[in-house]
Amino acid sequence: MKSLSLLLAILPLAAKPQLYEFKTRASELDSKVKEYPEIGFLIKDKKGKAEDTQYASVDTSAQSRGRLVIWLMSPNTKLFHQLNKYGLHTMQVAYANKWFSLCCKERPVGPHCRGNIRLEAATGEDHTNVVAIAKPDSIKGRALSFVKYLAKKNPEGEWGQFLNSKKDDLLWGKIILSGISHGSTTSARFAKHTKVARVVAFSGPRDQYQDWQALPSATPKNRFFGFTHIQDSGWEADHYCRSWELLGMHQFGPIVNVEQSKPPYGNTRRLITDFDVKNDAKVAHGAVIPRKGSLADKEGNYLHEPVWRYLFTHPVDSVGKPVPMDDSCMKKQKQ
């Protein structure tokens, strides 16, 4: 009995299922990380504030779906925690996105200018002469170093399942790319180049005057999902609608208003909302993810939770019936 007690004392206790959250800096994970001040892609701002902070979370009390959501744009912990409840790992990486106000500003900008910068920011490969972003500073590079770190830091979270056997790349077939606005557009451009599990685009994609959305896609078309408010200026100007059709999302069902329908929304890929935002386009732009201004009841419960669950977990092979393209969505856009 004494030897048994000694053995039990030295054995590590199994970690209690729980929510794990992580916050770290890209420059602390990889010494090759650098900044690109010419396009506003920094490690620190002028006041010394970190610009390369990254976040991740996983809830081991939820049944894992074996999928990692890589979120592009500012972190949204409320959304992350919701996704964690669905059994999804979540991660936000710092990537180049402020170039948008500095590069490809000519009107029109040409068919691929912005798309090529997005792709270089995503892969660290040479896709444009406008910028030169190295692999450690790409979405791929920073996500890889973060997952490798988490695989060691948090074995309970089983982050290693997203690494290939050589641990020199992620298993992109297990990755969900998602973001809002600029992040949703970069998610879609990345997925055209690299096959991923799915794309969830909030308030996007955009890139008017661009036609990269119609390029051959490594990610099957049925894996693209979108959700926007109809008073978002990008929707009112048909930018999102145009991108959705160029991506081929109309092949899997009509545009469905979630305020007038219930999951599974006819298995469509194109969801909109028209809840009251007091005619404020800026509020409408961000209101499709959990934040101030989002649709909620008196207790503060977000009423679009069924929409988020659908967008991130609906079986990609369950699709709606194709509908014709809407010519109004394809009209020439103004920037």
**Tens of pLDDT along 80-136?**
999 999 999 999 999 999 998 889 887 777 788 999 999 999 999 999 999 999 999
Q: What is the pLDDT of residues 144-172, one digit of tens each?
A: 999 999 999 999 999 999 999 999 999 99
Cα–Cα dist 116/35, whole Å:
19
> Mean pLDDT throughout 310-320?
98
126-131's contacts with Cβ under 8 Å and 24+ in sequence apart are 130/103, 130/104, 131/36, 131/39, 131/96, 131/99, 131/103
Helix (DSSP H) and strand (DSSP E) numbers for the chain: 10, 9
292: pLDDT strictly greater than 70 = yes
Q: pLDDT band for position 333 (50/70/90)? A: very low
Please, what are the domains in the chain? 18-327 (3.40.50)
Nearest to 224 by CA among 265, 187, 193: 187
SS3 140: helix
294: pLDDT strictly greater than 50 = yes
Contacts of 6 (CB under 8 A, 6+ apart): none
Looking up tokens 């948008």 gives 100
| 330 or 193, higher pLDDT | 193
70: pLDDT strictly greater than 90 = yes
**Cα dist from 145 to 63, 85, 91, 151, whole Å:** 25, 25, 12, 10
Q: What is the pLDDT of residues 184-202, one digit of tens each?
A: 999 999 999 999 999 999 9
SS3 256: strand
Extract the runs of DSSP E, i.e. beta strands, from 120-234: 175-180, 198-202, 224-229
Question: In the prediction, which pLDDT does 209 show?
Answer: 81
* DSSP class of 162: G
Task: Please give the helix or strand (H or E) that residue 93 lies within, else none.
Answer: none
Q: pLDDT band for position 180 (50/70/90)? A: very high
Cα–Cα dist 117/266, whole Å:
35
Helix then strand then coil, % of the chain, to nearest 5: 40, 15, 45
